Chain A
Amino acid sequence: MVAVGLYTQAIRMLAALVLFTSFALLAQTRMAALIRLFAWQGALLAVTTALVALVTHQPRLYLSALLTLGLKALLIPWFLNRLVIRLELQHETEDLRGNAMVLLGAAALTVFSYYVVMPIVELSTLVTRNVIAVSLAIVLLGMLLIIVRRKAVTQVVGFMCMENGLFFAAVVSTYGMPMVVELGVAFDVLVASILFGVFFLHLRDSIDSLDVDRLNRLREADE
């Protein structure tokens, strides 16, 4: 019993760290650092998944952990980093006026997630049930990142964070989706990251910048 308690605490602590990286992403302005943080989130996620696999004796979760490590902690960050260097954006920073409000909003979203998943936590008997709210919070914070930031790179990181949150949700609420679905989702994420790379080059060619704010030609109706 003591051992399980210890494991549960470890899982909770790791989940808290993953959530912390989401907050850190919201506060980070430099592109290179942003991508590094994202890689850390992926790595923490993989470790958490492996720990859940160990505690619950679900060997297929090791495979999921490995997949996450390879894709979210290594491949995608490496790819993004290479693009950022190629486009000479690594020192670019974003203006974050009013970011205190954004962080407060993020805290509110976290509380909101706890409220939303209450009925599920009540039903669940898994050791991980207390971190389901954290997974939803990560999804919502990823969304917040996409909404408040105006750089294409940051929006992509936000998009990938949402994917992280979704994967985490599947792990902690059901010990992972069926393998075929998980592979399909991983494939989609991989294709999406390649497409994002293509887009960076297109954006650079067409508007000569990766500021999404410059994308304002399409209006409801031309006055």
Chain B
Amino acid sequence: MNPHADSIYPVLLIPLLGAIALGAIGHSRRAGWVNIAISAATFMASLRLALGVWEHGPLLTTSGMFYIDAFNVYLLVLTTFVGLTTAIFSRNYMLDEMKQGRVNSKRLQLYHAMYQGFLFTMLLALATNNLGILWVAMEGATLATVLLVSLYRTPESIEAAWKYFILCGVGIAQALFGTVLLFFAAERVIPNRHQALLWSVLYAHAARLDPAVMGLAFVFLLVGYGTKVGLVPLHNWLPDAHSEGPTPISAVLSGLLLNVALYALVRIKMLADPTLGVLPGELMMGFGMLSFIVAVLFLHRQRDIKRLYSYSSIEHMGLMTFGFGIGGALATFAALLHMTVHSLTKSSIFVTAGHAAHIAGTQSIDRIRGLIRTQPAVGWGLLIGTAAIAGFPPFGIFTSEFLLLAATMQSWPWLTAPLLIGLVVALAGLFRQVQPMVYGEALPGQRHARTSMLPVAVHLALVLWLGLAIPAFLAQWFNHATFLISGSSLL
């Protein structure tokens, strides 16, 4: 028994109580600060939890409801960290939105309450040991964000939210059917049916689950959680939801929710691997590659700055899914690292893009010009962020993509070519659009936006750091997680 077993509860309770508190006072001018304080407290609690896991190994609460190992603890810390920095950004941003009259105090109240509610559902999905609760939390994350996507009540945003609601609802229903099938398979090998959905118990019995049922369950779960990851052809909701909602929500959707969905998928893969052999991996590789290629091509056609970066998210989620699909220590390590650096970079890009849209008064790429002249911090932030996401050295994404390419070359050499070409095409697509936005003459009618570039600077500095030298403890951590997922370690 882990002496720190109880340290998981604050991580979940703080955002839950925070959501309730902000439901009461979220309209006041100080709510932005309260939101930051709650997020900071959650972050500290998650650090304490991580320290406990670091010192005493995997943690299973007495009831068996929560299970924390090296894989999910780093995602928990990442989630609370990005939650905190986005909360810092969101205070100024939402005040600005208030001043422009795009939201009123009632909607601000809803926004703040749901922000914490959303963080709670994601943290619950990451921490739970019960695959049924995992599903409930994933659906809860959709429910918490759907009203945020339509916060501005424009026809476009309502359309985006409706699409998001229905498509994700239909998709995730498949995952519940998969969960039922998994429960069915588990019941025949696990004597106590109350434990038959607990991941830690299932993992111990994974080799004895019936292959035919597991195959069926895996396909349903892949389609279900794959919809939330944004895998092509189930990605249609993603660009709409990301571009129409308030920017802080785009940042957490892209940086965090997609990760959590992928996390769920990888957990399922770990259960399916022993009985199904290479099938789960190859399915994930196929979906990942398809998403990557389709998203790269669509990058070139975008006219809206937030849609542009949403497609870039699909591209990177495709790469990660592909990496986990290859399996093996190197590819898994690369995918884990990629999850981290993508999440940090993408949320910082959405923050900058939100500022850029405020300056220009529109999200249309054609109308955003000369950012470096009007507000240099925003211009440089966007340029550096885009360089990082496109995979330029010395940023962390270069490292993870390089490792992924190396892993592909080892096991599937002929797939290296489409990967490389895709990366170059993506680079061209991004820079073709970003160059005129940051350089060039500013258009008339720009306004000065109250910016908070601190989160951007911190995120990009971290990504740079991860690219130059991964600190030893973090490398060890990724290595642990790699060992858990792939069965062999890299270092």
Contact = CB atoms under 8 A, between A and B. Distances in A.
Given A143-B170, A159-B166, A188-B140, A170 B161 contact: no
B158 A207 contact: yes
Given A120-B216, A162-B170, A188-B143, A206 B153 contact: yes
Contact of B197 (A116, A120, A177, A218): A177
A22 to B, nearest CB: 14
Contacts of A116: 216
B156 A184 contact: no
Contacts of B197: 177-178, 181
Interface stretch (B27-35, B92-100, B182-190, B404-412): B182-190
A155 interface: yes
A32 interface: no
The CB with the most chain B CB atoms within 10 A, among A139, A142, A217, is that of: A217
A185 interface: yes
A26 to B, nearest CB: 16
Given A119-B216, A218-B160, A195 B147 contact: yes
A152 B162 CA distance: 9
Contacts of A185: 132, 135-136, 139, 176
Interface in B110-156: 130, 132-133, 135-136, 139-140, 143, 146-147, 150, 153-156
A58 to B, nearest CB: 11
A210 to B, nearest CB: 10
A10 B339 CA distance: 52
A136 B177 contact: yes
Given A181-B130, A184-B133, A220-B298, A199 B161 contact: yes
Nearest to A162: B173
B180 interface: yes
Contact of B156 (A155, A173, A192, A217): A217
B165 interface: yes
A198 B180 contact: no
Contacts of A178: 130, 132, 193-194, 196-197
A203 to B, nearest CB: 6
Interface in A125-156: 136, 139, 142-143, 146, 152, 155
B267 interface: no
Contacts of A177: 132, 179-180, 183, 197
B163 interface: yes
Nearest to B187: A174
A49 B181 CA distance: 18
A221 B180 CA distance: 39
A199 B160 CA distance: 12
A13 interface: no
Given A173-B184, A180-B130, A181-B197, A221 B303 contact: yes
Contact of A199 (B162, B184, B194): B162
A202 interface: yes
Interface of B: 130, 132-133, 135-136, 139-140, 143, 146-147, 150, 153-156, 158-163, 165-166, 169-170, 173, 176-177, 179-181, 183-184, 187-188, 193-194, 196-197, 210, 212-213, 216, 240, 244, 298, 301-303
Given A146-B166, A159-B169, A181-B136, 10 more contacts: A116-B216, A123-B188, A143-B173, A162-B169, A166-B173, A177-B180, A181-B132, A217-B159, A218-B156, A221-B303
8 contacts: A123-B210, A155-B166, A174-B183, A180-B130, A185-B135, A206-B153, A215-B155, A217-B156
